[in-house]
Amino acid sequence: MRDIVSILPLAVEAVSFRGDGRTLVDGLRFDIPAGGLTVVLGPNGAGKSLTLRLCHGLLAPSQGRVRWAASMEGRAKRHAMVFQKPIMLRRSVEANITHALAAAGISGGERAERSKAALARFGLLDKAAQAARLLSGGEQQRLAIARAWALRPELLFLDEPTSQLDPAATRQIEELLAALVAEGITVVMSTHDLGQARRLASRVLFLHRGRLVEDSPAAAFFAAPDSPEAKAFLAGELIW
């Protein structure tokens, strides 16, 4: 993966998005450099999930643009996304991975090799033949991350990946994410869980009402946020 020209940094340039007659995110400007884990933080309705979808290309901005350092024209996409509620195909655990690899144009022999590696890496090898939809919530989220990892992304987006999980499953996912960052994968994830953000983030993008209010290293953000909105959020106050 590292011998390919990097797609990072990702530049979000004055991005706005309108839906249902309203501006849902407005004038977003930030870069995602290579490395680390960036948390997109903010209250419900702040625009966190929408921001990730715009960055990943699932939605086109109404204004502005999302620009990658290297063109991906004619290349395999080198960023992947895992959703809050993982999408499980009506197939086995292993087939969920091989189907994603086939869709990405990976050849049969390599598909099998990558799939086995992903199952082993994420502790799912013994469940390879099981129906994916019968997995527990935590196992489904691990499978969703394994499926994304098998695509060998340089950048991984995650939309509140543990919001529906119990504490034990949440801890497993957090340990996996920390390991992926240590492997060199750049991670951008949304959450409104302050404890999780403190544990994982190297950088925080704080959104409020669809606007980027703060962009700072995590340690600085949690020690002394600049904006009244972030101070209120960290104090546990409801902000709208």
Q: Domain ranges in the chain?
A: 10-83+140-234
pLDDT bin (cut points 50, 70, 90) of residue 2 is: very low
Please, are residues 239 and 208 in contact by the beta-carbon 8 Å criterion? yes
Digit-coded pLDDT (tens) for 73-120: 666 789 999 999 999 999 999 999 999 999 999 999 999 999 999 999
**What's residue 75's pLDDT?**
67
Of residues 196 and 240, more confidently modeled: 196
pLDDT bin (cut points 50, 70, 90) of residue 127 is: very high
**Strands, sheet with 203-208, edge to edge from the N-terminal-most edge strand:** 79-82, 155-159, 186-191, 37-41, 203-208, 211-217
* C-alpha closest to that of 147 among 76, 106, 93, 105: 93
Architecture, CATH, for domain 10-83+140-234: 3-Layer(aba) Sandwich (3.40)
How far is 192 from 148, CA to CA, in rounded Å? 23
